Structure 1
Amino acid sequence: MTGASSGIGAAFARALAARGHPLLLVARSTEALAELAGELDVDVRVLVADLTTAEGLARVEAELGGVDLLVNNAGSATYGELGEQDPADLDESVLLNVLAPTRLTAAALRSMPAGSGILNVSSTAAGRDDPAIAAYAAGKSYLETLSRAARPEAGEHGIRVTVVRPGRTATAFHERSGEESGHLPAWRWQSPDTVAEAALDALERGEEEVTVAPGDGHERR
């Protein structure tokens, strides 16, 4: 699982651990991964890797033969006019939202066993023509197209591909992107646990896509 150190990624880790799955957690933060691993009552391996680098991608690709679920969750967003964005931030967004899941999905098709699954984390922002999130929305649109196009090949290998499309989720992601969203009321937000549970349920049911947005009935009580 990529992007496992916080937010939706950490929620996926906890949800999978609660279902008894051993885990391979991937992120850039050694300290955050170690802290999360210490919370979980299953076998956990930690892989510190930067997916914006060729070395980091290669390290994760080499591990995929030993897992039966790939969660492409790592991502990055920038907020504001496209022409005003820091080029380095745009590069990171494209590398994490486009290149990394492409490489890891391809590696999964080569090495993961039949009965495995790929869960690609998109966003309700995919396809939106909002100038403030141009690169992010385009990257998530790409991820959804990649997932759909890869399904026939994945099916030949007995691998399921599910896309989860979260709406606004209460994580630090929005703050890091520079989006000013603190004024929004509580009902406009959902928990990362809601997203993770709904996505895993959809994967188990064999659904190809699931949208998880505040107030849509996915909340667990």
Structure 2
Amino acid sequence: MAMGMGGWSETMDATEETQKICDQVKDQVEKQTGENYGVYTAVKYRNLHLIGGEHYLIKVHVGGEDYAHLMVVQVTGTQFPTPPSLRGVEQHKTKEAPSYLSPTDHTTCFNKYTSSDSYSRRLTPLLTSTDLVTMANKPGGWSDTMDTTEEIQWICDQAKDQVEAFTGENYVVFTAIKYRSQVVAGENFLLKVDVGEDYHHLNVHRVYSCDGHRIVLRGVEQHRTKDYPLVPFTN
């Protein structure tokens, strides 16, 4: 597989595997966009292999002349069968939408942005007009707050013993309901967790290694409300 700058592959025609990944995140895409897609066909993709997982940028035909660009992460190297997780969506792209990738952003997870985003990016054209557009936000930026997924609940479960040791509590209810993510050397997560008539915020780091990955608790904020915003913190 030919690799582009920063380890990303060149843009290639979608495969059955790519379509399967798309199908697995369709519910997440529809929930984020508020759409129900009758047509939902992967046509192009790029991928980036990292220890512990794969990142995908996928161009999806969603009907007529309309295309969506997806950022998807597939975790590997674990006994738990984690499904692909949606990291961002760009709607209403054309079939020929150009693709850009900043040299400083090539190993960063790409969060969604809109054409009105005022963040000043140093964008360098790298690909042809038939390639994908990356969903680049500022390097190291946190994602928007999103509803939980099976993968996020698994991460929450892995951190439970560490949280109980930190707080001195034993939780019967321990359910992730919201999260934010940030890709660095590994991944950071802010999790809002229902612990039974109360909510905690967790700061969790996923460390990738040659043996797979492990979950490390970095901090806990106790006694938050259901609507209290997820804001980066350490303690």
Give the TM-score of the pair, scaled to structure 2. Answer: 0.29
- Structure with bigger helix share is 1
Higher RCO by CA contacts (8 Å cutoff, separation 6 or greater)? 1
Structure whose CA Rg is larger: 2
Higher strand share: 2
